[in-house]
Amino acid sequence: MRDYLKFYIDGQWVDPVAPKTLDVINPATEDVAGRISMGGEADVDAAVKAAQKAFETFSQTSREERIELLERIIVEYQKRYEDMAKAITEEMGAPSWLAQRAQAAMGVGHLQTAVAVLKNYKFEEDRGTTRLVKEPIGVCGFITPWNWPVNQIACKVAPALAVGCTMVLKPSEVAPFSGYIFAEILHAAGVPAGVFNLVNGDGPTVGAAISSHPGVDMVSFTGSTRAGIEVAKNAAPTVKRVHQELGGKSPNIILEDADFAKAVAGGVGSVMMNSGQSCNAPTRMLVPAKKMDEVIAIAKATAEAHTVGDPNGNSKMGPVVSEVQWNKIQGLIQKGIDEGATLVSGGVGRPEGLDKGYYVKPTVFANVTNDMTIAKEEIFGPVVSILGYETVDEAVKVGNDTEYGLAAYVSGTDPEKIKAVASKLRAGQVNINGAAPDMMAPFGGFKMSGNGREWGDHAFAEFLEVKAVLGYSAPQAAE
């Protein structure tokens, strides 16, 4: 049992103003794994005031001081790497291999990337007699999700620290252990008091208090589009900057000349990883209609090879995060069946042999049309929808026929055809032939997938204001 009943405010672990606890459920066992305190407006206010006070000095630190700080954080993170991975498995059900190789790894990856960017980042630029200066925006409010918990914390905290901002974090109350460990890491690394603050709680209470607080200069939110809209509404009266990384329903266009065995299996596998709980998962697979039977056979074999079970064992897939998510996914799978899609594998209910835990069958639907619910709604589970197309233009049109625009995928062998398709897709990231992640590539979406960009040097801009100092330099005399 983990008891994380204090908040981290002004460099100290403090009790909440009003005691209120929440049980954290292990999704693999449905047992209580720990408890956290649930904060309120008074806790947020104390954290914001600490961050405001700390900003006065931290915003004036040198590049070299902040590089040293980030490097100390990396050292402490490496010491707690095993703890972090185990906590992520326990709180949200990621298989231990995934928690080790990807979930925990992304946290340290963002810290290392921030150091690399900071070393050469241009905070000043002269244009004639005017100097443009990029300065830290101020106090940042971070509201992060449960699906890639430390990844989403680190990709906000690392660049914010790098440029000299202070912050208040609300990690997901569903998966809060990794956020707590992250706070312990920052404390051990000697982050100055008030620079980083953590208040646990739910979205309607603590999340709303952060996004509406007049002392918060910008708010960065990752989660559902529905919740992102609420964050923006709450932030509007104080005219603060709002960064949102929201939902997705990413198209995966497999061209006729693709290696189908590789492209189809890779696409299905990408959705099944993390039990389908990735906002950029390629959940809509678009294939030439005449290849549908071949695609079905490959997809079926791939899905059925995904063993589901104890995340601490050898399973490829663990549970989804909660009963709420499990019920939502089950309802959408049933909707796919009811609306006439061809169920290739999986379906409703738990996988055979599992009668406890929020486990979902790896599910593939074929002969899906883009007006079906499973082609439109973000399921956030291990469910692939396969749609047929007659022409590439039709595939692109269907691919873009969504309110989302976070990611898109293209597979084929003709580089020019692939690039032509990629250029027409309305998404913040386009992945070609299963390319590996790039920590320097900006991450964010078009349309209702949000605004702003995270990762790499583009992340720095979210936490900077631009000041123009006119007449800074004397005009050069004509020769």
Spot the catalytic one: 90, 91, 245, 378.
245
Amino acid code (one letter) for 64 = E
Cα–Cα distance, 138 to 330 (Å, whole number): 43
N-to-C CA span, the chain: 76
* 265-299 per-residue burial string, b: 16 or more CB within 10 A, e: under 16: bbbbbbbbbbbbbbbbbbbbbbbbeebbeebbebb
In whole angstroms, how far apart are CA 283 and each of 95, 249, 409, 426? 21, 6, 10, 16
Amino acid code (one letter) for 440 = M
Q: What DSSP assignment string belongs to 165-212?
A: -EEEEE--SSS-HHHHHHHHHHHHTTPPTTTEEE----IIIIIHHHHH
Q: In terms of C-beta distances under 8 Å and separation of at least 24 residues, what long-range contacts does 112-116 make, across chains too?
A: 112/74, 112/439, 113/158, 113/439, 113/440, 113/455, 113/456, 114/70, 114/158, 114/159, 114/161, 114/162, 114/459, 115/67, 115/70, 115/71, 115/74, 115/162
Count the Cβ atoms, other than its own, within 10 Å of residue 436.
5
In the annotation, is 140 catalytic? no
Query: Taking CA 410 as the corner, what is the angle to CA 385 and CA 111, rounded to the nearest 5 degrees?
Result: 95
In the annotation, is 279 catalytic? yes
Spot the catalytic one: 90, 279, 454, 462.
279
Strand partners, 254: 411
Q: Which helix (H) or strand (E) holds 451?
A: strand 450-451
The single residue listed with the structure tokens 């980042």 is 121
Count the Cβ atoms, other than its own, within 10 Å of residue 1.
9
CA-wise closest residue to 212 among 41, 49, 46: 41
Query: How does DSSP classify residue 475?
Result: P
| Catalytic machinery residues | 245, 279
